[in-house]
Structure 1
């Protein structure tokens, strides 16, 4: 198995420690979080690492397919289920209906960081054009009822914001603008009754083949930008929690899961079969007939590569990520 030296700093596992006053006010406000075992509705926002191709106008989540449409595992970038599918069907502690409005290529706001094509739905679009009009109006009386108590809102965003802007000289100002928008979107969801929020921070995609191919400078400086982004996620959630003592916010250290697997795939049961963590095989880059295809031109089967192509990982690390999230939310 190939290896690579990792020089970026280790990120924190969760939110910075709250002040004693914040702890007191959170307890007094009687948080809506009732535990992972009581989550019945999962609303998901993000990019290609999260997308399943869900259409809010199509078949809704149901007992036959808790992700609604399309057929499980959906249209993913992982050549199999992604973390959303695994979390919903493998590591769920109850029956969960998952409404996944994520869109491949998404940034927080296309006006601030342009996606690879103008038709991409940003986090802002996902919130304002999909979630709010379909599920956010009077949740108790809609065709898809949910409550603050039984619902979790999950966000996995930032990979494209960082990837499309890390080299800019004004990145500090840009990130401040992005997180102002991010905060406003959270406020809009909070206004509909959302109280429980899960954030996946940005993994070390500077160690994906796309950046590795561009040399040490790109690896180092995109890695720094990722750490800045992840720190802003922690700051965002801490500040939002200070404003809304009845909200429960979780930051999952997805960066650490990916870093661990890149260092040693055997650290997780789900990834112990991975044999290449730095490259990918061209025969697999657009997907394969099965989740375990072995092409003669490739050294390993598709699921034995961490990377399906130059940016997107295969399903085993999505599996490990979902297992880690469920453990985190249950602790």
Structure 2
């Protein structure tokens, strides 16, 4: 194990930096759900030095619309100091594996399907292999929000169920490691019990969801530690999303946000809809993540 970092930092100012075309490209392969997606289609226009996110046109498409950058947009194009080409496999509504938890919509590409896409198109020797190497590529995962949202009220032990989810999660991570991935970033599930949608539900529901999220995150950290310990050639970083979410929601005015519950199209709201952070919120997340992964961007 080269490096394991468990990391969460308070918000602070960080200067913008634009891509430097004189530097070698770095590659970022991202996996996740609507909190990360930009609408990338693996068979569409591919990322390039002049178009680092490929398709669709920057900042892409997400649940907040077509002109609402997410954290990954900001990190790769505003807080970067080198050229970063992003292959963002994240898909809105994704769960770890639809065979375990699913919204029942076949079109949604789970982490399992996103991994299949990566292995079919972006892995060495495949159709769209962009020339990445273990030494210049980052692999990030922000998944589990939908798994918990769908399943937190199910009968039975949520601890045992989270174990099933995370075992499958890291089987997929292993398959990506097997083709050369060595630098990993994992993000924890944020306190989505504080979303406007969840605030309309009974307190008991929010309390239970909070408990399930805490258990999932604890097990995620253990799985990350185990993965790092058994793979001595990897660098693994974890970004705990909970501190920045709670900081923004506890003290919104400190971040230019009007309050913790309003949602819509404004530049001063925390949420774009009942369940998804606004672009202004994503900006705050991006500032913190960028500090953690600065060697890759």
TM-score for both structures, normalised by structure 1: 0.78
Cα distance in structure 2, aligned partners of 1:180 and 1:204: 22
CA distance in 2, matches of 1:172, 1:53: 32
1:162 partnered with 2:148: yes
Question: Which residue number in structure 2 is paired with residue 313 of structure 1?
Answer: 277
Which residue of structure 2 lines up, in the alignment, with residue 172 of structure 1?
Answer: 159
**C-alpha deviation, 1:173, in angstroms:** 2.1
CA RMSD of aligned residues (A): 2.1
Unpaired segments of 5 or more residues in structure 1?
1-12, 16-36, 285-292, 294-301
What is the DSSP-based 3-state SS (H/G/I as helix, E as strand, rest coil) of the residue aligned with 2:96? Answer: coil
- Give the aligned partner of residue 170 of structure 2: 183
> SS of the counterpart of 2:226?
helix
Partner of 1:119: 107
Structure 2 counterpart SS, 1:277: coil
Matches within 5 A, 1:5-20: 14=6
Which residue number in structure 2 is paired with residue 217 of structure 1? 204
SS at match of 1:303: coil
Residue 150 in structure 1 maps to residue 136 in structure 2: yes
| Pairwise CA distance, 1:177 | 1.2
Q: Following TM superposition, where does structure 1 have runs of at least 4 consecutive aligned residues deviating by more than 3 angstroms?
A: none
Deviates more, 1:218-227 or 1:100-109: 218-227
Aligned pair count?
274
SS at match of 1:113: coil
Q: Distance in 1 between matches of 2:272 and 2:231?
A: 40
The alpha-carbon deviation at position 274 of structure 1 amounts to 0.8
- Match for 1:75 among 39, 42, 61? 61
Q: 2: distance between equivalents of 1:181 and 1:111?
A: 10
Change (3 A) 1:183 1:143: closer
Structure 2 residue runs of 5 or longer lacking an equivalent are 8-22
- Counterpart position of 2:26: 40
Query: Is the 2:253–2:259 contact (alpha carbons within 8 Å) kept by the matching residues of 1?
Result: no
Larger radius of gyration: 1
Aligned to 1:218, the other structure's residue is in SS state helix
Partner residue of 2:89?
Answer: 101
1:54 aligns with 2:54: no
Contact 2:189 2:213 in 1 (8 A): yes
Q: Does 1:279 align with 2:262?
A: yes
CA displacement, residues 48-98 of structure 1 (integer Å, 9 cap, x when unaligned): 111111111111111222000111000022441001111110111210000
| 1:210–1:39 distance in 2 versus 1, CA, 3 Å | farther
The match for 1:135 among 115, 122, 125 is 122
Instruction: Tell me the equivalent position of 1:323.
Output: 287
CA distance in 2: counterparts of 1:143 and 1:168, whole angstroms: 41
CA distance in 1, matches of 2:64, 2:225: 31
Query: TM-score, length-normalised on structure 2?
Result: 0.87
Change (3 A) 1:85 1:186: same
How much does 1:38 deviate?
Answer: 8.2
